[in-house]
Amino acid sequence: MAASTTQILATLFLLLGLIAHGKATNCSLRDISVSQSKTGAIVQNKPEWMVTIENKCTCVQLNLKLKCNGFQTVENIDPSVFQVSSDGLCLVNNGQPVYTKPITFKYAWDNSFPLTPSSSTIACS
């Protein structure tokens, strides 16, 4: 017997759902993107930098830490967005979930600092 159009569509939707779910659970630290660009503003004779942190996975990432050795700024940063610690790691979003909506902050220093993902906890529902 030939499968009905309804059965074919149901199977197709089931397969697409499994593929999408499998992709979501394959999230990793590599899904965190950090970019920086000059804003054009000058703060205390130093160029201002805009940092954008994006989670490119549908799963949230908690307790995201970036390597930020030697990070300095003459501009105040809200510590609930980006908190510098003495161990060369910086906590993003106060450890709260990082969703797909970008997190941004600004800092001012002579040059940009390399900010690279170090660790996170991935949570998929």
| Ordered domains of the chain (ranges, CATH) | 28-123 (2.60.40)
pLDDT tens-digit map of 39-77? 999 999 999 999 999 999 999 999 999 999 999 999 999
Q: How far apart are CA 98 and CA 17, in angstroms?
A: 23
Q: Count other Cβ atoms within 10 Å, centred on residue 59.
A: 20
Residue-level pLDDT at 25: 61
Q: What are the backbone dihedrals phi and psi of residue 101, each rounded to the nearest 5 degrees, phi first? A: -75, 125
Query: How many residues are present in the chain?
Result: 125
97-122 pLDDT, tens digit each = 999 999 999 999 999 999 999 999 99
Spatial distance between the Cα atoms of 42 and 8, rounded to a whole number of angstroms: 61
**What is the pTM assigned to this prediction?**
0.78
